Structure 1
Amino acid sequence: MSNKNTNSLFNQVFTTTDHKELFHQLFNAKDEIELQSVIEANLETFDNANWKPLGANKSNYGIVKNQQSNPIAALIEKTTNSIDAILTMKCLEMGIDPKSEKAPKSMEEAIDLFYPKNNWDLREFRKSQAEEIQIMADGKGPRTQKKQYPTSVIIYDNGEGQPPEEFESTFLSLLRGNKNNVHFVQGKYNMGGSGAIVFCGKKRYQLIASKRYDNTGDFGFTLIREHPKTEDDHTKETWFEYFRKENHFIP
């Protein structure tokens, strides 16, 4: 299992300094072997100096490892985060600070406020809402008795989104409690979504891409992986890290 978002296909890997093109290559890699080939073709960009520990903590292995016990629970957590993102966006669209007293105090209140007079039993309404969160399987081909192809999982939501400068305090944070004061969402500590990392292939690659819902700011992306230990590493355990180049996430 790995995570990624949709766009045009690239049929070959080559060294590139074009950030948009680089994102497309990473996104369109069908499995971690193809993704690793993109990295190896761009070693200057993916230099070890451009990888930072997740949550700014090299002791993050136990935190991430102990989130969910199986990939299904990890996938559910990702979807839960998508629901939170959509409800938060609805709140912001109404001009309400999600952490303010005017914000809903529960998910039930939020649904009543953000979706008034909507009939969830109507097929067309359910269909339009279903398009707001999508889970897609990608890979080189179907599994057969003779051949087992690895699968990449794409999770998309049309929620609030984050600009690149906020990645480290949201997607890449651990134990920050970012959602503690937002009472209508399910998440609290901004770390449950990291549980999927341990189910993302052998190298734990997870691609994250986002842009703010109102189109303010840049589109950004980052890549998470398990740190490949070297002889210079003196810690007992490895850690999880994310890609960041030149003090900013590539727009």
Structure 2
Amino acid sequence: MDRERRSAGDGTVPAFVDWLLAAVVALVGLLSVAAGSALAVLVDRDALAAGIEDETVTVTVGTTELTDAEALEVADAVVSWTGTGLVVVGVGTVLVAVGYLVARRRARRRREAGESADSYGAYVLVGAVVTVALSFLPFSPALGGALAGYLERGESDRTVSVGALAGLVPALPALAILAFVLGGLVAGLVTIGQVGEAVVVGTMLLLSGLLVATLAGALGAVGGYVGGRFAQRRDRRIDARRSASDGNP
């Protein structure tokens, strides 16, 4: 394998790995759709009213506890928007899985025809899946980014970007769902006349989400750089061994 090919990614991700990655992503999407549908069916306005009445459900904004009527309006809006968000994000995630398979199939066909095709997107998805799988660790985006950067190879100038995307991509569905939750919360607070609280709470949640996304991307970028450097050193050792072997009779 020559260094030029390694620098752009060698495109050797097997087809079964593509299918496995797409299956994992699609499964996450289907679970999101199922959760959103269940939320819409099982948690209706009457159920919320009953929960608020017997104090099973309480809604507070800041340090102020809302009245039962106000709490019902806010809780109903949040549940409705959240259920919709879960379904929308789930469907979008399934479509991403299908689109990934289509793109990878086209890439393999181009490669078979002798045209240039790499596996940048596949490396991003591999790193993203690892980030999610290791999410119980505090620095999982760095680990996912390191794997993506390693696969992209050390001589590539895209190891940082592939690592950043591997860390950031898993946060995007969560941010999208958070946006729907935020929309429901703001809508409910505006309905009961708590416009000021809606602005404060909405701003805090939005900034928190952006901070988490930025941190995930930054950790992924650092991991991508480290993984790329590790791959670079490994490739150089392999080249040195081959050169030494070729020089021997």
Q: What's the TM-score, normalizing by structure 2?
A: 0.21
**Structure having the larger proportion of residues in helix:** 2
**TM-score of the two chains, using structure 1 as the length reference:** 0.21
Which structure has more strand as a fraction of its residues? 1
Higher relative contact order (CA 8 A, sep 6+): 1
